[in-house]
Structure formats: structure tokens, C-alpha cells
Amino acid sequence: MAGMYLWQDKQFPHFVWDADVLLTALGEVHTLQGQLLGRMAALGFEGLTAQVEALTSEILGSSQIEGVVLNADSVRSSVARHLGLETAGMERTDHYTEGVVNALMQATQAYSEPLTDERMFAWHAAFFPLGYSDGYKITVANWRVGNEPMQVVSGPFGKQKVHFEAPPSDEVPTMMAQFIGWVNTADKTDPIIRAAIAHLWFVTIHPFDDGNGRMARIITEMMLARADKTAKRFYSLSAEIMRQKKDYYDVLEQAQKGTIDITPWLMWFIGALRNALLYGLQTTDRVLQKTEFWARHKDTEISERQRKILNRLWDGFEGKLTTQKYAKINHCSQDTALRDIQSLIEKHILRKTDEGGRSTNYELVS
């Protein structure tokens, strides 16, 4: 094994950091946190829409980081159902997506419950319901076993670069028991720093055969729910991590090859969380605009087909709206779709985009 990894430090996992370096960034995050929670409290029922978008982004982002692409509409439908919203006309959800959504919902809705190996095993099983990963049989819902080194590598076969080697599997149960004990024991550390520590500590142990990144992010969401003191999720850290995927892996690799002074990792985490909170505030702006839009058009004649599309556009429509997509979503002909769209244009609700190309696109009038 080349060099020394974080877990080999005799002081691991007694991390240290420079609180003065973190002070300003951490203060800004707490301010944004308060602004977002305050705005969501004022939104009331409409805030459920923002929750659906945040949770959907979290699930899509966390999976996409690992190269797993889920159907956004299917995830959104499952999240809406978990939150008790009307899902008629929404995409049907497959069993795998339902399991992944359920894992995150269980972690965040029951954030105050103690973390246990049984809870983690249940979440892990949701990611690998058939017991395989990329065609290989893996240990599911239990810690990894075996004598082969657990390595994070990249590059073609024969020329792989080893980015990280995890602790031997026989050390995992003891290390996880210590980790779980720490998660479940309150201390005076800022809860956002605790969330960042939990993320790094978990991926350092790398306790599962596969899915360690997704599991780390679920545990982080649970810790952030504790930091927010609410089960309601209004922002997505994983979506922000996906936007900074290369930096995320680089800073984790540097932390694994560094010392127990984890100030650089904490600074990166806090910065990513800041961006996620800012994006969450933008989402709530859109929710407010949607509420105002329907209030403004309460007396406008709008069909159920049109209403369905307009809600999709406000809630985060994938790609551009075309007559083909309109027809597919509403199970109608393209002629009907075009008439519906033309009607919305005449009412100054939709307009053609300035983009050229083979398909004409439409968007909401600002």
C-alpha cells in the first residue's frame, strides 16, 4: 500500500480543524439556513412543491454521481406520494425507484431516531435489490467481507490508478460501531460540521461492497435534517455535489491522503452547502411565482390538459416543451397539442422560444 491513508493515522477518527478559518463561511450558511426555513414556514401548503423538487433533486443527483440515471418524473411521482400529494396523471413508479426514494425519506423523516446498522442495511438493500452490482454478486445489507483490498480506482484495466484503499474488512464492524456511537451522541460541535464529519468518516471506512457514496450522502441528509431541526427538506446537497463532481472527488482524495486536520474538507463542504441553500432559495422563489400565477389566472379558461402542462413547467420540466412532448404527456394527438399551445400563447401564458432547430419550443411568459 503506497503512502498512508487517513484511517491509518493513530489519532483517527479524532478530527481537528481551524474554527477561525471556518467562521465566516459557517456564519453565512447559518444565515441562509434561517432565511430558507423562514420562507418555507411562510409558504405553508405550497412549500410541499419545493420539498418535492428538493427531494427529487437529491435522489437524482446522488444516483447520477455514481453513474446511475433515474427517471426524473418517476422519482418526482414517488416523492409526491410519500408527502401525501395528489399524483393522478403522474408517471408510474418502478419498484427500484420506490425503494431508493423510501430510503431517503426514511432517513430524513425519522432523522431524530438513532442510526443503527439495521437502518443502514435496509437503505443499502434498496440500492441493490437483486444482490448484484454491474453484474457482480456483492454482499448486500451487511458489512463487506473477504481478504481482497477494497480500493477506489480509475482508468483502464492494467493501468488503473488507486485513489484510495479502505481499511481491511475485519476492522469494519468495530469502526462502524464507533461511528454509529458518535452519530448518536450529541456534543457541542456545530451540527453542520457534524454532517461534514459524518460524510468523510463514513466514506473513509467504506463499509459496504458498493454504494458507499450514496449511503454517505443519505446519512449526510439525515445529519442535515438534524441541523435544520426539521424533516422538511428544501435544498439538495447531492445536486450541488453533482455540479462539482470532479472537485468533490478531488477534495475527498486529498482528505484521505492528508492528516486528521480536515479544515480543507470542511471548507469545501460548507461552500457546497451554501450553494445548495442559494439554489433552494431560488426554488422557493419559483414556488411563490407559481402561486401568484394561478391566483392571477384563477378566472382564465384553462383545460385540464393545459393545467397539467403548466404545472409541469412550473415544477421543473425536463428539457424543452414541444408539441410532441405535450401530446405524449397528455395522450392526445399533435394537432390537439398544437391547438392547446396556440390557445395558451393567445392568452399570453406561453410563447415560442428564440431557439431555432427542427422542433419549435415553448416556454412560460415571465
Structure confidence at residue 356 (pLDDT):
62
Tell me which residue has cell 415544477. Answer: 315
Q: How far apart are the C-alpha atoms of 67 and 133, rounded to whole Å?
A: 12
Q: Which three cell numbers stand for residue 316?
A: 421543473
Q: How many C-beta neighbours within 10 Å does residue 366 have?
A: 5
Q: Is the pLDDT of residue 358 over 70?
A: no
Structure confidence at residue 284 (pLDDT):
85
Q: What is the mean pLDDT of the chain?
A: 92
Structure confidence at residue 89 (pLDDT):
55
Tell me the mean pLDDT in the region 339-359. 88
Q: How far apart are the C-alpha atoms of 80 and 83, rounded to whole Å?
A: 5
Q: How far apart are the C-alpha atoms of 342 and 136, rounded to whole Å?
A: 52
| Residue 40 contacts residue 50 (beta carbons within 8 Å) | yes
Output phi, psi for 139, to 5 deg: -80, 125
The CATH number fitting domain 303-364, selected from 1.10.10.10, 3.40.1190.20, 2.60.120.10, 3.40.50.1220: 1.10.10.10
For residue 2, name the pLDDT band (cuts at 50, 70, 90).
very low
Q: How far apart are the C-alpha atoms of 293 and 162, rounded to whole Å?
A: 53
Sign of CA dihedral 63, 225, 98, 328: negative
Structure confidence at residue 91 (pLDDT):
65
- The pLDDT tens digits for 69-100 are 999 889 989 999 999 887 655 667 789 999 99
- The pLDDT tens digits for 232-273 are 999 999 999 999 999 999 999 999 999 999 999 999 999 999
Q: Is the pLDDT of residue 1 over 50?
A: no
Using CB atoms within 10 Å of the CB of residue 24, give its burial: 0 to 12 exposed, 13 to 18 middle, 19+ buried: exposed
Q: Is the pLDDT of residue 291 over 50?
A: yes
For residue 196, name the pLDDT band (cuts at 50, 70, 90).
very high
Do the domains 6-287 and 303-364 sit in the same CATH topology, yes or no? no
Structure confidence at residue 212 (pLDDT):
96
Q: What are the structural domain ranges in the chain?
A: 6-287, 303-364
Percentage of the chain beyond pLDDT 90 is 77
Asked if the 6-287 domain carries CATH number 1.10.3290.10, the reply is yes
Q: Is the pLDDT of residue 326 over 70?
A: yes
- The pLDDT tens digits for 105-138 are 999 999 999 999 999 999 999 999 999 998 999 9
Structure confidence at residue 153 (pLDDT):
86
Structure confidence at residue 238 (pLDDT):
97
CA distances from 303 to 171, 253, 342, 343 (A): 62, 53, 13, 10
Structure confidence at residue 93 (pLDDT):
78
- The pLDDT tens digits for 269-287 are 999 999 999 999 988 888 8
| Residue 217 contacts residue 195 (beta carbons within 8 Å) | no
Q: Is the pLDDT of residue 52 over 50?
A: yes
Output phi, psi for 336, to 5 deg: -65, -45
Q: Is the pLDDT of residue 57 over 70?
A: yes
